[in-house]
Amino acid sequence: MTTKKISADRVAIKGTPLPYAIRQIRIRNYHGIIDTHVSDLPDDARWIFLTGQNAFGKTAVLQALLIGLYGDRDGKTILTDEACEIGVEFKNEDQLQINNLGYPDQKQVCIQPLQ
């Protein structure tokens, strides 16, 4: 596999730019996850593995990631606790986006073009 940087924030594998990359995720008070933060995920990671024993929160992390990326679009209540906080920073094509759900002062989506 050939990986090369095509700019400071764009990565290509075999000459094709990767359009999306999760950079970090923060989860607080969601389905048994008290507080966890994963950061510094590389833009060129094609796979991210989540491993652990049964009933240790892997599905909760994936649900939180889904909520952080897409919100609660179907109208069902997935965020069961008002104290729940989920934040995801990701690269979308040529933009850096930060989604915060449940943070009292930071519910907006921030979008910054990458140069």
Q: Is residue 90 in some structural domain?
A: yes
pLDDT reported for residue 35: 94
Structure confidence at residue 26 as a pLDDT band (50, 70, 90): very high
Q: Residue 53 belongs to a domain with what CATH number?
A: 3.40.50.300
CB neighbours of 68 closer than 8 A, spacing ≥ 6?
25, 86, 87, 88, 99, 101
Residue 98 falls inside a structural domain: yes
- Tell me which amino acid residue 105 is: D
What sign results for the dihedral spanned by CA atoms 101, 105, 109, 113? negative
Instruction: Tell me what the mean pLDDT of segment 83-93 comes to.
Output: 83
Closest by CA to 95, choosing from 85, 82, 109, 78, is 109
Q: For the chain, give the mean pLDDT.
A: 73
Domain hosting residue 104, numbered range: 19-113
Q: Tell me what pLDDT residue 77 has.
A: 55
> d(Cα 87, Cα 37) in Å, to the nearest integer?
9
pLDDT band at residue 13 using 50, 70 and 90 as cut-offs: low
Domain count, the chain: 1
28 in a domain, yes or no?
yes
